[in-house]
Structure 1
């Protein structure tokens, strides 16, 4: 079944379509007839939608804790941000092509003049500069290979220049400006908050209390708040910014990590696997060093039927939200119905938290633990699920792990007839 429409989806649609609704009557009054009129109309409609989509895309970068819930969580908000930004790019390309095609029946010279007027027509050339800046900003997303995260973030700042140039292109050419000023203020306020104010006002100060090795490339760091810490729910994540200049990489860079401590715990715990230069460097964080935390974000466990039993499927570092939830269960078992946790690991050495999870499961009847090793059992099968959790299709299902694991499990559960409405996943591929 299709994904539920979130309140934020409706808000985005209203914001994107408002300038078009306000400009509608004037768009129909274009000169010409037949194909020329239709192409000219389509060219202006795509231009209006492209610019409004670009402005709304910029406004979506605000990343306020709690706001992401309107959109089904921050990972989904980032996915919408990426799709809307690429749609804006395609609409702007369509705007350019359709307007030139509308002039082509008159003459090739007229079509070229529409695209490349004399230099005195500053708004048109501002539009070309905006398109060029947008192409450069989006270029890393066209790559097939992996994207360098920090290089992408720096290059993506060109989208702000594209935004300003697009406004210089459009505002002198359109009479109805109220909607554009509103969207422009939202976009510029979001960019100012994210780049200038949030690093000062939104981040909480912590100190590294302990770094506990869990495997060769996995640690759990414990953070003690300097003043008041964040208040999180199980399954949420935060952005961590280390302020230790001795790190080999990642100094003053923010990266998202899932919280593995129970809600209300005195220290904030984060499970971190070395997946790149920055996360590798975090394995060597020095106790006592300063870090900043922003959040929390996400709503992994927020949607559930109160009386419905649960099934958790976690693999790799994707086990961390379930560790936090299990620790919460150990403290507040009355808050949980029965939970079956399937820990999907390649081999015993990669089941980082299995000893602690086994202790919690043995002490609390609300949690049953089943560890599945790929090295000896192969991929998880429907038969294995039915053997260890016969009623799995009637439970609320939560899945977190590597993208390939998520794709495989979605296929397995669909084949088993599990209703997609009861399957919840969290993925952190923000790029």
Structure 2
């Protein structure tokens, strides 16, 4: 059976497509499994339960009595509590971004990234408070100078020098994670720098395991903290290191072609082994590393723009900076390292028979793949594609062929933005209300699942329009790729 190939794409030929029955059968046996709704509740409950145990360890050391003794003892006691909570949140941070499948599928990368950032800043703030309270508290207990007391704590207590170095690293990561600082760096550079957070956590925590009273007070407390540590380390080694290496070696992806789709968009075609066993659903993304070139250690997060088929896989990249621009210079034969798949933007989250796909700009890539893979009857799927002008409509021919083949409806909304308001519509439709325009395109939109992908501001406007048109929040699926 003929399928999409890099050769046919490069030649601009009409792309032969598989039968509707073949697409539906592949989708039914594919990896887009549903994520049980209770998973998110279970992960949240386990996180809060762990925090309760941490506070209980502090209470078991008679710390409440310390609070009422005198001010210096109270400060030292509160310093221990903030240190315990900070250490726990630091481990939660590691677990959140360890790519644990249950956590990943329950939340999605964008939600995890936001929670990771919130917990990270909270943990760091508590860590700073911990250092200040402990130093001031011990200064009062020892009747010493605060500077001398701090130096003595660092030099005399086991692993405190390591903790100081770890804290400095975590502060550096926090500063570079501020929105203004992130805006000055490429995603790939920021991501590589962010990996030093693992080193910072590794250096900051051991002194608590060796000298903290709440870590050593009872054998079960020691077992609890060491178990948390072991779980965090094992998760990173298995899901962040082991699984990517296994999939890279098993599938042996190599670049076979780089195809220009528009003046600033290219598709990268890769060939590999056993791609039918690659557990990815259309709409999900991988972190890609192209070996043998400068900067290969920097990961690039890109969605598939077509389901894997016939030993080929395709991603499509827009020129948004030096990192993505450099991929246009990839040569055939370049080996590829993959990490993933990730993301909740796939058919496994679908709840209704009818589906509306809202794509803005390069956000068309995961939704184009979903359109091809989704099981559907004629009229079930509506695809709305917003772009600045006709030249920016990537995959127009493919979308029209897929629509004709599968019985889907495709609408192209091109033109400049509506002046004076945040809208998902082009200026030519600016006289329409955002929600009313959506209802005109999809009269039964309130009974659809709605998938949205595009730039942040455009996604927010499309989301508001869908809600105003009567779509329940639980039926709106999106994943933001900002960092």
Query: TM-score, normalization: structure 2?
Result: 0.77
Among 2, 11, 19, the alignment partner of 2:54 is 19
Find the counterpart in structure 2 of residue 58 from structure 1.
94
Moved more, 219-228 or 112-121: 112-121
User: How far apart, CA to CA, are the structure 2 residues paired with 1:196 and 1:304?
Assistant: 31
Among 419, 425, 428, the alignment partner of 2:478 is 425
**Preserved CA contact (<8 Å) 1:141 1:147:** no
The residue correspondences of 1:398-417 to structure 2 (distance < 5 A) are: 398-417=451-470
Find the counterpart in structure 2 of residue 233 from structure 1.
281
Find the counterpart in structure 1 of residue 245 from structure 2.
200
**Preserved CA contact (<8 Å) 1:221 1:270:** yes
Moved more, 215-224 or 34-43: 34-43
Find the counterpart in structure 2 of residue 350 from structure 1.
392
- Residue-by-residue CA offset, 1:136-179 (whole Å, 9 max, x unaligned): 22221125133333433443343233323322321212213222
Find the counterpart in structure 1 of residue 9 from structure 2.
none
User: How far apart, CA to CA, are the structure 2 residues paired with 1:224 and 1:95?
Assistant: 52
The residue correspondences of 1:110-149 to structure 2 (distance < 5 A) are: 115-117=150-152, 119-144=155-180, 145-149=183-187
Q: Provide the secondary structure at the position in 2 that maps to 1:210.
A: strand
Q: State the Cα RMSD in Å.
A: 3.1
Find the counterpart in structure 1 of residue 364 from structure 2.
319
Find the counterpart in structure 2 of residue 383 from structure 1.
436
Find the counterpart in structure 2 of residue 95 from structure 1.
130
Q: Provide the secondary structure at the position in 1 that maps to 2:338.
A: strand
User: How far apart, CA to CA, are the structure 1 residues paired with 2:222 and 2:149?
Assistant: 23
Deviation, structure 1 residue 77: 2.5
Find the counterpart in structure 2 of residue 49 from structure 1.
85
Deviation, structure 1 residue 114: 5.7
Deviation, structure 1 residue 75: 2.8
User: How far apart, CA to CA, are the structure 2 residues paired with 1:104 and 1:288?
Assistant: 64
**Preserved CA contact (<8 Å) 1:239 1:293:** yes
**Preserved CA contact (<8 Å) 1:39 1:99:** yes
User: How far apart, CA to CA, are the structure 1 residues paired with 2:417 and 2:116?
Assistant: 41
Find the counterpart in structure 2 of residue 161 from structure 1.
199
Unpaired runs of at least 5, structure 1: none
**Preserved CA contact (<8 Å) 1:403 1:427:** yes
- Residue-by-residue CA offset, 1:95-130 (whole Å, 9 max, x unaligned): 234445657887985766664535323455544333
Moved more, 285-294 or 400-409: 285-294
Among 61, 71, 79, the alignment partner of 2:106 is 71
Q: Provide the secondary structure at the position in 2 that maps to 1:299.
A: coil
Find the counterpart in structure 2 of residue 254 from structure 1.
299
Find the counterpart in structure 2 of residue 213 from structure 1.
260
Deviation, structure 1 residue 314: 0.6
User: How far apart, CA to CA, are the structure 2 residues paired with 1:126 and 1:209?
Assistant: 47
Deviation, structure 1 residue 268: 1.1
**Preserved CA contact (<8 Å) 1:240 1:257:** yes
Deviation, structure 1 residue 347: 0.7
